């Protein structure tokens, strides 16, 4: 199976609500590792693992919420341009 098929199978097997909960849980675990890093812990491997988990859940969120690549890329690009403007303006 390709990744998209695996994501779809996970949603079908566990259900949308469970996968939505899992997305929140994975983001929370990443948040926890970021906080540990801020306190000086060398947890690079843990952060990489949690980022991977979050990215997997984001792919499932895109499927569950019917977010297309073009739509997401357009919004993402707008936000990148806004960030660029803030940086140019000293914010």
- Identify the pLDDT of residue 76: 98
Domain boundaries, the chain: 3-88
Dihedral angle, C-alpha 46, 49, 50, 56, nearest 10 °? 180
pLDDT tens track for 29-86: 999 999 999 999 999 999 999 999 999 999 999 999 999 999 999 999 999 999 999 9
Query: Alpha carbon 38 to chain centroid distance?
Result: 20
The reply to whether CATH 1.10.287 applies to domain 3-88 is yes
pLDDT tens track for 74-88: 999 999 999 999 999
Cβ proximity of 59 and 11 under 8 Å:
no
């Amino acid at each position: 199976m390709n990744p998209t098929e695996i994501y779809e199978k996970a949603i079908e097997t566990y259900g949308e609500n469970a996968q939505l909960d899992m997305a929140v849980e994975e983001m929370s675990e990443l948040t926890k590792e970021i906080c540990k890093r801020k306190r000086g812990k060398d947890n690079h491997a843990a952060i990489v693992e949690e980022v991977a988990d979050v990215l997997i859940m984001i792919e499932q969120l895109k499927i569950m919420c019917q977010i297309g690549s073009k739509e997401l890329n357009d919004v993402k690009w707008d936000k990148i341009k806004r960030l660029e403007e803030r940086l140019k303006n000293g914010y």
